[in-house]
Amino acid sequence: MTIYPENRIRGIMRTSGRQIILFLGASLLTINALAQPTETLYLGNTIHSGYMDDASYGPYNIGFNFTFYGNTYTQFFVNTNGQVLFGDGSTVSDEMSIPDTTAPNNFIAALWDDLIISSSGKLLYATVGAAPNRKLIIQGTNMGFYPTPIFMGTFMVILYETSNKIQIQYRIIIDATSERAHGVSAAIGIENADGTSGVQYAYHNSTAISTGKAISFSPIGPTYAMNTDAIYDGVLLTTNLTLPEPGIPQLLSPPQDAVIGSSYTFSWSESGNSANYTLLISNWSDIGGAASYDAGTNLSYTVSGLMLDTTYYWGVFASNATGTTWCEIKRFTTSSAPPLAAVPQTVWVEQFQDKTIQLSYTGGDASTKTARITSLPSQGQLYQYNAGTRGALISSVPATVTDANRNVIYLANGTSGNGVVSFSYLMHDNTGDSPAAAVTVNVSPPGIPVLLYVARGTGIEMQFDKPMANPSGRQSQFTATVNGSIVSVTSLALKEGDPYTILATLAVPLTGSETVTIAYTAGDITSAVGGWLLSFSPQTVTLLSQTITFNELAPKPLGDPPFALTATASSGLQLTYSSSNLAVATISGSTVTMLAVGTTDITARQAGN
């Protein structure tokens, strides 16, 4: 929902047999962050929530057969010290180099150190997708160190069915200047059942990991091939799909190691689902003893009275009723005459998509700031920004950025990979030109759609985690059975108003009492952005399809009184609603209260029974 001084709102439905979701605008299940890949949210199972030290949990079901060093497992263990284990758990917090025959063995070490789950942290897991391409996600959220520093961050271990690939990835490392947070006292890698073989990525390496880092291990004979520059898998677990934990606030200004004056307006990006932002400024990198400023739902806060010639650290934590999300802490110093500087940054974008990038600065005088492109990307295309769309192509340098807010648009129509693209720019004011700064672009492949649910009416409905391209004419790639006999799929279509769901019409309509399965053999079914759907084995169709009816909403100018949402489910079951941007609109029950001009995703769900 976008709220303008005079706004118009249009409802878009997304439905499934188990979970019916209505979207106004983009999917609630997709988070876009400035310096991280797009993430798809899944509901996680809670292993533990709240503070815990030196604890082991399990066994938990993997959800498929997983082969690790020649042995097949169906269950796993996990502990608070950054390990996933097979066969048995462990609470050993003293890391060892890999391999080592001393117990524990038979593990994946995402960050084996003396970690804790913080008071706002969680251990979660979920198996998502359809056979034979499911994956198990194990996630440590808001992890810290014992006894210090308080903050480590969030990491994941992902196990992939069939390929038996393992991926370790780090969603965020909080303390950008802490050697411990980057691996100086940790072991990272995998080890077999008796400790005689293993693959070590890092041991006591102070620069081993960083935000967005991904490392994969693929079986090759009796050992594993390690990719230390793997593509980050954009998945994230939450405990509440109706109101997920806030996204990560991206600190915009001042950037890392900036020089600013004694008074400064700190700014950060909207994180999604946040009810409140807290700005923290400290003389310590772990934000110990920080001065705390309640910014409410604002995305900036002006602080005066900073001591000159002093080093500070700052961060913004986002919170809502479900939980708190930390950010990556940045460092700055103060000066009576801060120099003009362009801000280097790293951004993520999916292949073939546009990315709006704001070019930022610190310091300088009070005159108008102008951004100038000084080098072009080696692939893809860079455009001027024109009211949210591509303007003129920037084909030569130097080129002055025409947007008053210094935005440009990058089109990722080249290859994918980490750091495959960069370009540079400088800032100009009456003090002159700043040194050039680089914008690094990580391009991820188009999102591979994951089958979430199958449901039945007179035909079969398949819901995915991403909007799908038109599947018309590709029905031969699906195989349906009814009571054990193959029945032809006569046509495919996207469900009306719901690009996440494909409808399969059968030669013989279903009546409700049959045993039904649906399978897919990889062909050319894709997501809307081009990610290829992987094969899935026969899925038993047990859920009943239902539909949400959500009539188009009348225009609502900001300042109007709260209004009621009146969606209904064909099942007659009660709906729940949520708003992704609580600074723009809040929802109580089914009543929307508009707070500010902006954009929010309003979601209606029916969880089924």
The architecture (CATH level 2) of 352-444 comes to Sandwich (2.60)
| R_g over Cα of the chain | 25
Q: Which residue has the higher pLDDT, 311 or 28?
A: 311
Q: Quickly state the pLDDT bin for 594 (edges 50, 70, 90).
A: confident
Residue 13 has pLDDT above 70, yes or no: no
A 10 A CB-CB count for 180 gives 17
Instruction: Quote the pTM value.
Output: 0.80
Q: Which two tokens stand for residue 187?
A: 């072991």
CB 373 within 8 A of CB 396: no
Per-residue b or e along 576-595, where b marks 16 or more CB atoms closer than 10 Å to that residue's CB: ebbbbbbbbbbbeeeebebb
Determine the Cα–Cα distance for residues 464 and 468; give it in Å rounded to an integer.
8
Q: Following DSSP, what letter does each residue of 369-437 receive, concatenated?
A: PEEEEEE--SSSEEEEEETTEEEEE--SSSEE--STT-EEEEE--S--EEEEEEEEEEEEETTEEPPPE
- Tell me yes or no: is domain 451-544 CATH 2.60.40.1220: yes
- Tell me yes or no: is domain 251-334 CATH 2.40.50.140: no
Q: What is the pLDDT of residues 400-421, one digit of tens each?
A: 999 999 999 999 999 988 888 9
In whole numbers, what is the pLDDT of the chain averaged over residues? 89
Mean pLDDT of the region 204-217? 96
Measure the N-to-C terminal CA separation of the chain; round to a whole number of Å: 29
pLDDT value for 11 = 29
Determine the Cα–Cα distance for residues 607 and 26; give it in Å rounded to an integer.
20
Instruction: Name the CA dihedral angle for 69, 538, 499, 508, rounded to a multiple of 10 degrees.
Output: 180
Mean pLDDT of the region 26-55? 71
Determine the Cα–Cα distance for residues 173 and 171; give it in Å rounded to an integer.
7
Q: Which two tokens stand for residue 324?
A: 């708190």
- What residues pair up with 563 in beta bridges, in sequence order? 592
CB 127 within 8 A of CB 450: no
Mean pLDDT of the region 80-85? 98
Mean pLDDT of the region 474-483? 95
Give every CB contact of residue 26 below 8 A, 6+ residues apart in sequence: 601
CB 239 within 8 A of CB 210: no
Mean pLDDT of the region 576-594? 81
Determine the Cα–Cα distance for residues 324 and 154; give it in Å rounded to an integer.
12
Residues of the chain with CATH 2.60.40.10: 251-334
Determine the Cα–Cα distance for residues 356 and 349; give it in Å rounded to an integer.
10
pLDDT value for 94 = 96
Q: What is the pLDDT of residues 355-413, one digit of tens each?
A: 999 999 999 998 999 999 999 999 999 999 999 999 999 999 999 999 999 999 999 99
Q: What is the pLDDT of residues 533-571, one digit of tens each?
A: 999 999 999 888 777 777 766 677 878 888 888 888 887
In angstroms, the Cα distances linking 193 to 66, 284, 474 are 14, 42, 45
pLDDT value for 396 = 97
Residues of the chain with CATH 2.60.40.1220: 451-544
Phi, psi of 601 (to 5 degrees): -100, 120
Maximal C-alpha separation, the chain: 80
Q: Quickly state the pLDDT bin for 608 (edges 50, 70, 90).
A: low
Residue 348 has pLDDT above 80, yes or no: yes
